[in-house]
Structure 1
Amino acid sequence: MEKIFDNTEAALALKSDSELERARFLFELIKRDTLVKIGAAVTKFALKFRLPVEGLIRSTVFDHFCGGITEDDCLPVIDRMFSKNVHAVLDYSVEGKEEEGQFDKAMFKILKTLEYARHNKAIPYIVFKPTGFGRFEIYEKLTAGKKLTQEEQVEWNRIKNRYDRVCGKAFEYDVPILIDGEESWMQDAADELAESMMFKYNKETAIVFNTLQLYRHDRLDYLKELHQQATEGRFKIGMKLVRGAYMEKERERAIRLGYQDPICKDKATTDALFNEVLIYMIKNLENMALFVGTHNEESTYLVLQIMQRCKIAENDKRIWFGQLFGMSDHISYNLANFGYNVAKYLPYGPVRDVMPFLFRRAEENTSVAGQTSRELYLIKNEMKRRKLVKSV
């Protein structure tokens, strides 16, 4: 099929020359693993000792990958993207909070975001992390099949209540909600909660979406089992498909504790599984909806080919494409230019609190062969194109 992702003029139209230069600088850094690790360590040190670095962070990495500190900060960014038919998924990206008050605060933040989305067609989805609503150790204990103490059971009930309040409001407002995936040793408990929300709220259409991290070799089998449950329970399956975000941590833990590595043996196997799940879901689209979270061009082209072959409209609301803000604009904006449903994950939150998320994003990019080089190649091509235009 026609290759559409090399059009840098369409992909980078919203970026000023100075923003392009900043992007080039950042991706030159990110492609060097040693520099990423040094930069992360220095930044953590500076933030820990409250050195005056937030302004520098804000003007470089933060503003490139984040929409702002608050929802209101994000609105100009959302409006700019929507002018090119690219939507936003507001992502409150504060991590590492472990108190009940913080979990409630995160829930109310998501409820507030739902209010924004309810009245803004540029925000088609909202998102939250399971560990934003409760302690990792509770999910981990349940996933391991261990019995909770009485106090822990009360805590778990509060987690379930937070899920239900948010998913119930999403259902009321008709705004789909994406539940992120996390580490495998806590994911079963999170999956069960997401499934219960699907059973309750996805009777007519997919409102609640779970996440399949497809570097895990068991995820197609899991999806097929869930499909059987959905057929019997008469509910729709919503799934965000990603390759995965915790590979090194997963492998290290499997080796240390002596259990089978849950991750596919290599990238080619992961890519094949990702594509197999794509095909399975689109073949069962009458009972499923998918959010294709990928920066991989081949997988994206595969979806387009299947949609064309099956005569599925570009704007069919059951298929959305998603990329992270600040990355893969050549995919996002060119897809939107051809009428496909596209949304950028738009992280936001206080600079200090969002940095763990940004560190992980940078580390992931250094581990994806070719991803950063492709970004740099396209940015440099657009800079050359603009220079030629100005010289004429």
Structure 2
Amino acid sequence: MVSIALYKNVLKQALTANASSLLISTMSEPRTELIYHHIDSMNITKYNHFVYKSASHPRPTLVTWQSLRHHSSLVSRHPDASSEHHQKQQQSHLHRISTVNLLRNIFLGKVFTSPFLFKYGVACLSKIANSRSAILDPDKNAVLRALIKPMIYDHFCAGTNKLEIKKTLDYLKTMGFEGVILIYSREIPAMPVEALNELEPLTQDEDIDIWRDGNVKTLDMVEPGDYVGIKFTGAGPRVAQALAKDRDPPQQLLDAMSAICERAAAQGSRVWIDAEQQVFQPTIDRWTVDMMRRFNTNGQALVSLTLQAYLKSARSTVENLLQQAHTENWTLGIKLVRGAYIGSENRTLIHDTKIQTDGCYDSIAADLLTKSFPGFGKQDFPNVELFLAGHNSESIRKAYTLYKGLLQKGETPSPIKFGQLLGMADDISCELLAMGEKAGKQADKDASAPMVYKCMNWGSVRECMHYLVRRATENQSAASRMESTVGVMQKELRRRMGF
């Protein structure tokens, strides 16, 4: 009953303008955000309200007007005419979102941006996710399920079964999305790396069999052009042990991946390998390159790896991948993200500031699109397929503008696709869809029309609980972006209700 009352209260607030502190950010990484309170573009003394917070900057850092102007492409200002014009454009794009999803966006946005509600809400979700009690199992407790599924699960996840997933996918296709990335949400409980030493290899690992069957079932639910997301550690603790120790994959896992990739190729779908913590990532990259070397030989990227731009090594990783793809003549598939493990990673491996991460992300995207990565000419540049996955609107707009400009000049940039997580950054997704319509996608399949995807997990409510906790944490840590999104959603709701 408390949640229903809260939902009604949020709806009431949604119909009133919120003129409180403006929070501006497009960062999706935990513990990193830009906060800018009550900006007055004519009063330089108010710039001491600009705060940069990150794990490497525990105390506020003042930013001068000159440095702020220098990085104006990364930080929005308020108020100005261009910002107001962009917000009006965003509102017009949001007509695609159902009213139910619009209300849920506003409700969850209020929760994630309220320190009190977020603290206790995530504590409850974490308790449920880590409990083995049947009382706290949403798959067994009907009351708990009735609270979690419609308010949280349905917002971020595709469904618990084939029928629910089809309904979600059909809804997204009617909105105009090119396709989806569907990920089987089964997770193995986290284990300390030291504990992995105690595991003995098995001739037949049941965890790998369950993982394989779940991913094959995922393939059954997607269509040609869609992606299946793969997380190697979901195959069990023995696979995690091999990753942590930089060993070759177990033969059983190789056989499973061969079956998954061959099935995906036969039905016209694709596979991407998710990034994970750095204790596993170097081996994940090595295994993924082996698969790209085998399956990406016909001019297309059946398999793509995930590159995290917040890592200081990101550009050198791209250079090494390009060199291998060029030398061995296969297509390099890259899903470019900022990164999602900043809270648990070795901080020295990660860029010191958000601006550095943004710069790394944008420069990699630009160099791959223009085929001008240092050390390679356009004539010897390998085939690359780029998927920009992210919730930073500035980076997305920059990349699409560059891509469209290259096409207009008669050049042939590397193919590009865009994607956001289900339940997040719907304003950015809708803006991209509107760009596609403007480019004449429905009429003549204009090559400059962006191909937009939504990424989502599926599984039982219980299986998805850890995923839901991560999504809640990510949304709250990017509170400024969330605040801006809620404001746009509120205006769209008022428009629909005639206010």
Please tell me whether residue 107 in structure 1 is matched to residue 199 in structure 2.
Answer: no
Please tell me whether residue 330 in structure 1 is matched to residue 427 in structure 2.
Answer: yes
Q: Residues 306 and 337 of structure 2 are in contact (CA less than 8 Å); yes or no, is this contact kept in structure 1?
A: yes
Q: Which of 51, 56, 65 is matched with 2:147 structurally? A: 56
Alignment of 1:345-384 (within 5 A): 345-368=455-478, 370-384=480-494
Match of 1:138 in 2: 242
Q: Residues 188 and 236 of structure 2 are in contact (CA less than 8 Å); yes or no, is this contact kept in structure 1?
A: no
Q: Residues 158 and 164 of structure 2 are in contact (CA less than 8 Å); yes or no, is this contact kept in structure 1?
A: yes
How far the C-alpha of 1:353 sits from its partner, in A, is: 1.2
Cα 1:332–1:160 shift into 2, 3 Å: same
Q: Which of 150, 156, 171 is matched with 1:80 structurally? A: 171
Match of 1:268 in 2: 355
User: For structure 1, which segment, 78-87 or 217-226, has the greater mean C-alpha deviation from structure 2 after superposition?
Assistant: 78-87
CA RMSD of aligned residues (A): 2.5
Cα 1:36–1:196 shift into 2, 3 Å: same
Q: Residues 160 and 193 of structure 1 are in contact (CA less than 8 Å); yes or no, is this contact kept in structure 2?
A: no
Report the residue type matching 1:293 in the other structure: A
Unpaired segments of 5 or more residues in structure 2?
Answer: 1-72, 74-81, 191-201, 372-380, 437-449
Report the residue type matching 1:158 in the other structure: Q
Report the residue type matching 1:233 in the other structure: E
Report the residue type matching 2:351 in the other structure: C
Q: Which of 279, 282, 290 is matched with 1:196 structurally? A: 290
Residue aligned with 1:209, SS = strand
Alignment of 1:274-313 (within 5 A): 274-284=361-371, 287-311=383-407
d(CA) in 2 for partners of 1:95, 1:194: 20
Report the residue type matching 2:214 in the other structure: K
How far the C-alpha of 1:334 sits from its partner, in A, is: 2.4
* More helix by percentage: 1
Alignment of 1:1-392 (within 5 A): 6-16=89-99, 18-33=100-115, 35-46=117-128, 48=131, 49=133, 50-51=135-136, 52=141, 53-86=144-177, 87-96=179-188, 100-117=205-222, 120-121=223-224, 124-135=226-237, 136-142=240-246, 156-204=250-298, 205-251=300-346, 261-284=348-371, 287-311=383-407, 318-339=415-436, 340-368=450-478, 370-388=480-498
Report the residue type matching 2:311 in the other structure: R
Residue aligned with 2:297, SS = coil
User: For structure 1, which segment, 69-78 or 348-357, has the greater mean C-alpha deviation from structure 2 after superposition?
Assistant: 69-78
How far the C-alpha of 1:56 sits from its partner, in A, is: 0.4
Report the residue type matching 1:129 in the other structure: K
Residue aligned with 2:417, SS = strand
d(CA) in 2 for partners of 1:32, 1:263: 28
Cα 1:70–1:102 shift into 2, 3 Å: farther
d(CA) in 2 for partners of 1:29, 1:193: 40
Deviations 1:170-204 (A, max 9, x none): 23333221110001111111101100010111112
Deviations 1:282-329 (A, max 9, x none): 12386100111011111111111111221179xx99311000111111
Residue aligned with 2:305, SS = strand
How far the C-alpha of 1:97 sits from its partner, in A, is: 5.3
User: For structure 1, which segment, 282-291 or 300-309, has the greater mean C-alpha deviation from structure 2 after superposition?
Assistant: 282-291
d(CA) in 1 for partners of 2:421, 2:111: 18
Deviations 1:338-377 (A, max 9, x none): 3220110122110011010110111122222522112211
d(CA) in 2 for partners of 1:210, 1:72: 30
Match of 2:26 in 1: none
Count of equivalent residues: 365
**Normalization by structure 1: what TM-score?**
0.86
Residue aligned with 1:216, SS = coil
Q: Residues 264 and 270 of structure 1 are in contact (CA less than 8 Å); yes or no, is this contact kept in structure 2?
A: yes
Q: Residues 327 and 375 of structure 1 are in contact (CA less than 8 Å); yes or no, is this contact kept in structure 2?
A: no
Residue aligned with 1:351, SS = coil
Report the residue type matching 1:307 in the other structure: Y
Unpaired segments of 5 or more residues in structure 1?
Answer: 143-147, 255-260
- Rg larger for: 2
Q: Residues 134 and 159 of structure 1 are in contact (CA less than 8 Å); yes or no, is this contact kept in structure 2?
A: no
Q: Residues 128 and 465 of structure 2 are in contact (CA less than 8 Å); yes or no, is this contact kept in structure 1?
A: no
Residue aligned with 2:418, SS = strand
Deviations 1:241-287 (A, max 9, x none): 11011001014xx5xxxxxx111111111000000110121123861
d(CA) in 2 for partners of 1:36, 1:96: 26
Cα 1:116–1:303 shift into 2, 3 Å: same
User: For structure 1, which segment, 331-340 or 46-55, has the greater mean C-alpha deviation from structure 2 after superposition?
Assistant: 46-55
d(CA) in 2 for partners of 1:37, 1:161: 44
d(CA) in 2 for partners of 1:208, 1:109: 18
Aligned residues: percent identity?
Answer: 27
Q: Residues 122 and 472 of structure 2 are in contact (CA less than 8 Å); yes or no, is this contact kept in structure 1?
A: no
d(CA) in 1 for partners of 2:153, 2:366: 36
How far the C-alpha of 1:162 sits from its partner, in A, is: 2.4
Report the residue type matching 1:231 in the other structure: H
Match of 1:145 in 2: none
d(CA) in 2 for partners of 1:317, 1:345: 22
Cα 1:210–1:93 shift into 2, 3 Å: same
